[in-house]
Copies of this chain bind each other. A is one copy, B any other.
Amino acid sequence: MATFELNGKNIYYETHGEGAPIVLLNGIMMSTPSWQMFVPPLSANNQLILMDFFDQGQSHKMVDEEYDQALQVAALKGLLDHLGLKKASLAGVSYGGNVALRFAVEHTEMVDKLVIFHAAPKTGAWLQDVGKGWILSMDSPENFYNTSIPVIYSPGFYNNNPEWVAVRKNFLTSHVFNNQDFLQAVARLTRSADNYDISDKLDKITAKALIIAADTDPLTPYADQKALAEGINGAELILLPNCGHASMYEKPTLFASLIAGFINTDFTGF
């Protein structure tokens, strides 16, 4: 529940608990409150650090400014410096996974372990065009919801949890997707990932990495996760069956236990 300044702009963050630090990085439409239910399990044995990227939650809104994810990497660097942390583990989802990976490429010595959910080595033309579709559908809450939300979930989860979906659809269309400031921030965040490409820098990463793929995730398909794991020295790869892009909602128990398990367990070899 605090902020620090980067170049005169506020970045909001929270820390919970004590122990080896874990920074848990948001997906594109998320903000720190999205992680509310993960705070108890992930702060039980660790210092859990949450932050809002620029254009998210309570952090500075980049109105009328364009940027790319280098800005968010700088925000993360600023936060670790602000907290006096020389090294931390990073866990990231989608957009947050991109930032974690770029950070691990550029600040190798500052990353302990890396847990990446649903991120690819680059943003390809397919995902750029899907993102353009999201931005073009911001004319009404219903349009934005139907264009951007179902594709985040596996059809199985979406079809089998109609009440959960109905509550969420109502909340998003009534309270979030009718907020033009929010939508413009999402549009900028979306564009900021368009030039993301670390496909030829993966071998610079020295952190122990766990890559987690979902088998029904069109946004970052398994082939990309596999390429990511194969490009990072010694990376581990796990596949979640019957799961979409938002594994933190579809498989929350696994989501929490994979992060805590990989970061807090050290196997030192045979």
Interface residues of A (CB under 8 A from B): 37-38, 40-42, 44-45, 124-127, 129-130, 132-133, 136-137, 139-140, 142-143, 145-147, 149-151, 153-156, 158-159, 162, 165, 208, 210, 215-216, 218, 221-224, 226, 236-242, 249, 251-262, 264-270
Asked if B218 and A151 make an inter-chain contact with CB atoms under 8 angstroms apart, the answer reads yes
B158 touches A126 (CB 8 A): yes
Across the interface, A155 reaches (CB within 8 A) one of B44, B126, B267, namely: B126
Q: Report which of B40, B45, B129 forms a contact with A150, defined as CB distance below 8 A.
A: B129
A37 near B125: Cβ-Cβ < 8 Å: no
Q: A207 to chain B: closest CB distance in Å? A: 13
Docked CA distance A264–B266 (Å): 14
Query: Which listed residue (B154, B210, B252) contacts A267, Cβ 8 A?
Result: B252
Pick from B45, B136, B158: contact of A137, CB under 8 Å? B136
Beyond A255-B267, A257-B267, list 15 extra A-B contacts (CB 8 Å). Answer: A41-B265, A125-B158, A127-B155, A129-B146, A136-B137, A208-B253, A210-B254, A216-B222, A236-B254, A237-B242, A238-B238, A239-B240, A253-B265, A257-B261, A261-B262
- The reply to whether A126 and B150 form a contact with Cβ atoms under 8 Å apart is yes
The smallest C-beta distance from A225 to any residue of chain B, in angstroms, reads 9
Pick the contact of A268: B40, B143, B240, B249 (CB < 8 A): B40
Bound form: Cα–Cα A238–B251 in Å: 11
Q: In the bound complex, do residue A45 and residue B264 qualify as a contact, i.e. CB atoms below 8 Å apart?
A: yes
Q: How far is the CA of A37 from the CA of B265 in the complex (A)?
A: 13
Asked whether, in the complex, the Cβ of B41 is within 8 Å of the Cβ of A267, the reply is yes
| Most B Cβ at <10 Å: residue of A124, A147, A264, A269 | A147
Contact of A269 among B37, B127, B221, B226 (CB under 8 A): B37
What residues of B have a CB within 8 angstroms of the CB of A37 in the complex?
267-270
Q: Using Cβ atoms and an 8 Å threshold, which residues of chain B touch A259? A: 261
Specify which of B143, B145, B238, B252 is in contact with A254 (CB 8 Å cutoff): B238
Contact among B147, B149, B262, B269 with A136 in the assembled complex (CB-CB below 8 Å): B147
- Contact call B252/A257, Cβ cutoff below 8 A: no
Question: Do A257 and B265 touch across chains, with their CB atoms under 8 A apart?
Answer: yes
A238 touches B236 (CB 8 A): no
